[in-house]
Amino acid sequence: MISNQKVILDAGHGGAEPGAVYNGRQEKNDNLKLALEVGRLLAGEGVDVMFTRIDDTYQTPYEKAEIANRAGADYFISFHRNAMPQPQTASGAQMLIYEKGGASEAMAANILDNLVRAGYDDQGIVERPGLIVLRETREPAVLIETGFIDNDADNRLFDENFGQIARAIAGGILQTLRQQSGEPVYYQVQIGAFAGKDAAAQAAAQLTAQGFPAFIVYQDGYYKVRAGAFLNMDNAVRMEKRLREMGYNTYMVHEEAVR
């Protein structure tokens, strides 16, 4: 069950170690902001969430791994942002793991797939066995490079779509937890989240009139309009494609059941 799963969220760098810096923007701040928001979303789904840091402090990579190992975590997720020697020369999200295969690669693939859907270019899943936080953690571990901090387009995406990016990462983590626990995962296509029930009902009625199986989920204080609930992801992808062709802005979500 999700409620029995514990994850450690690690905001990379911190304190006197800013990470990558570009035009005054410091990686450590983006990492912490994103880790805290993803943690909030996971906790709302019943996941036991711990953090290596919740403020502007520094731990060595060995200390970060030891925090996770002492806690007996099921997964370790480290948040970072990428950079290149020459600014503006690369963009996209990338996942780093110790080695291919197993739970780490499964989680990396789920998170990366969601980040690509959120707007990032796909920089792939890369083995990095030399990274201490991947090598020294006893639990499956992934490191997320959430776009390039020295790419203006990636920074705009990070800032303007921050909520969607956090939900994409949390969704990938939840999907993996459910897969590993044996719970069925339903893929749903969301077309909007509304503060008012009437607006959501109107959007759902429009979808129904267009031949889509629409329904409303009340979650996190919003009425979310979704179409379809599929055990097979390919079917959900086809549904999403149809909706986008009709002009909808879509977002793939994963749920253990239709609520």
Q: State pLDDT tens for residues 219-247.
A: 888 999 999 888 777 788 888 889 999 99
Pick left, alpha or beta for residue 128 (phi over 0 → left; psi -120 to 50 → alpha; otherwise beta). beta
pTM of the model: 0.77
Summary mean pLDDT of the chain: 92
Tokens at residue 112, please? 């990366």
Going by the DSSP 8-state scheme, the letter that residue 14 receives in this structure is B
Quick check: helix, strand or coil at residue 116? helix
Q: How far apart are CA 9 and CA 93, in angstroms?
A: 18
- The domain locations on the chain are 2-180, 184-255
pLDDT band for position 258 (cuts 50, 70, 90): very low
Residue pLDDT, tens place only, 61-104: 999 999 999 999 999 999 999 999 999 999 999 999 999 989 99
Give yes or no: 145 in active site. yes
User: What superfamily would CATH give domain 184-255?
Assistant: Sporulation related repeat (3.30.70.1070)
Assigned fold of 2-180: Aminopeptidase (3.40.630)
User: Among the options 27, 105, 139, 145, which is catalytic?
Assistant: 145
**Beta strand extents in the chain (DSSP E only):** 6-11, 21-22, 25-26, 48-51, 75-82, 93-97, 122-127, 141-148, 186-194, 214-219, 222-230, 251-255
Two domains, one topology: 2-180 and 184-255? no
229 neighbors 188 (Cβ within 8 angstroms):
yes
Q: What is the pLDDT of residue 69?
A: 94
